[in-house]
Structure 1
């Protein structure tokens, strides 16, 4: 890619944030919400591999489509008329598409944690930079996770639905999240992740769990609650006294081809 185009591509998110104030629209029906997320669903269908990895090089070729989708979100004001599941699906899609777009701007990169986003107050991590714009309001990825997807009754399945851009995180689905099917989609994500020995090793008496369980221990609850949660999603019989340990966590990019460098998972 020519140097000038590379520069423009890397700072496209800044142009996106500094664009003129949008004309707000409302997506108050299930059908209109589904149409809103269709472009993202199409991109996932094209660029997520069978194993649940993201083909960033391929997505880079469709960067304009991804940016168009993100720009459309500037015109949407989340509505009180949405169901809780529709709201949750909306923010999951926003988070995942924004994280993917951020990686695309700096690709090739070995880990999302290597990215430093230039901002007026200085370089910020990819988790704290204001790289998301919804309804004219800017957010960081962490703000979306903590303020929009957390509640007094946490749904730990969220951590298998968020695109942490990590090889040790849950495989990505090949479709956008849909409020009308969100429970089934998150259940499928959780079941797929827990029963994959690349991420968790489960026996009746000993659970070797992804570092995600340790980093978000508050959401998963006590050891007995963790065992009950796992039992719900696996056919492996889990003893009430099964011991728990946490596996190292690879922050290598969840690219279709990736290195496997491991390190402890910590909340970003």
Structure 2
């Protein structure tokens, strides 16, 4: 009996350790990266940071290989893989710390997520879906300093902790139902305006069907139910009404669309 109990205890312990490891890789922890919370209204500025990163190389690639609908020419990115690698190497050479402003950190992590996602597809192209790949969000693939961060960690352990839910409309998971990939890099000098743009475009675009009394929403709103806050309280309807051209009634019926994980390829 004692042996059986020990086996059960060991099994539970091993499962717990495995689960914690998996959750950490998927993004529960910040993976040793600094995070800062947006306090009040985010402003766009480069004046309050010890470091200002030049993301122009990423903008050049995006302008060349992403159309106005946010669809991506992955074959074109393959031909420019050397330039993509050079940009990722530049990001890897940086070591964010608390002397970086919240604006610089947001831009850095969003661009790192998007560029590494494109790199993941390029490495495995052709593919029908990012979900067909091995551990797309749990494997450490985004190099920063001496660490390899996971995409899940970047999203859940870092960006979601920065008190800026508009990041959900800025990061792109290479899928049809994702918010579109912006055709320019995020920068501290434009971060608020860029986040405002992509949020308005997403909420008022074809990923949501909104009328006064009901809305069929993107599953993004279902995936992260606690992120949509107004005055510190979770309020999906209120959050959407801040950006939607069609206002929802407070008791409007909300349902969610199926998520299309097909590749966002031109």
TM-score, normalised to structure 2's length? 0.77
Distance 1:221 1:73 in 2: 32
Kept after mapping to 2: 8 A contact 1:113/1:251: yes
Distance 1:179 1:162 in 2: 16
Report the counterpart of residue 56 of structure 2 in structure 1. Answer: 38
Report the counterpart of residue 164 of structure 1 in structure 2. Answer: 173
Distance 1:29 1:224 in 2: 31
Pair 1:206 & 2:214 matched: yes
Distance 1:254 1:81 in 2: 36
Report the counterpart of residue 220 of structure 1 in structure 2. Answer: 228
The residue correspondences of 1:14-29 to structure 2 (distance < 5 A) are: none
Residue number among 126, 142, 146 corresponding to 1:108 in the alignment: 126
Report the counterpart of residue 184 of structure 1 in structure 2. Answer: 193
Q: Which has the higher contact order (CA 8 A, sep 6+)?
A: 2
Report the counterpart of residue 255 of structure 1 in structure 2. Answer: 265
Kept after mapping to 2: 8 A contact 1:168/1:249: yes
Distance 1:254 1:112 in 2: 10
Contiguous gaps of at least 5 residues in structure 2: 1-45
Report the counterpart of residue 31 of structure 2 in structure 1. Answer: none
Q: Deviations over 1:134-190 (max 9, x none)?
A: 112111111111222122x63221111111111001111110001121111111101
Pair 1:127 & 2:137 matched: yes
Q: CA deviation at 1:30?
A: 6.6
Kept after mapping to 1: 8 A contact 2:209/2:217: yes
Distance 2:69 2:250 in 1: 32
Distance 1:175 1:33 in 2: 17
Kept after mapping to 2: 8 A contact 1:206/1:243: yes
Report the counterpart of residue 120 of structure 1 in structure 2. Answer: none
Distance 1:31 1:165 in 2: 32
Report the counterpart of residue 74 of structure 1 in structure 2. Answer: 92
Report the counterpart of residue 62 of structure 1 in structure 2. Answer: 80
Pair 1:98 & 2:106 matched: no
Report the counterpart of residue 70 of structure 2 in structure 1. Answer: 52
Distance 1:237 1:69 in 2: 41
Pair 1:174 & 2:183 matched: yes
Contiguous gaps of at least 5 residues in structure 1: 1-26, 117-124, 257-268
Report the aligned-residue RMSD. Answer: 2.2
Q: CA deviation at 1:237?
A: 2.3
Report the counterpart of residue 13 of structure 2 in structure 1. Answer: none
Distance 1:139 1:245 in 2: 34
Residue number among 106, 124, 139 corresponding to 2:149 in the alignment: 139
Larger Rg: 2
Distance 1:49 1:96 in 2: 15
Q: Deviations over 1:89-129 (max 9, x none)?
A: 1100011101110110000100011112xxxxxxxx11111
TM-score, normalised to structure 1's length? 0.77
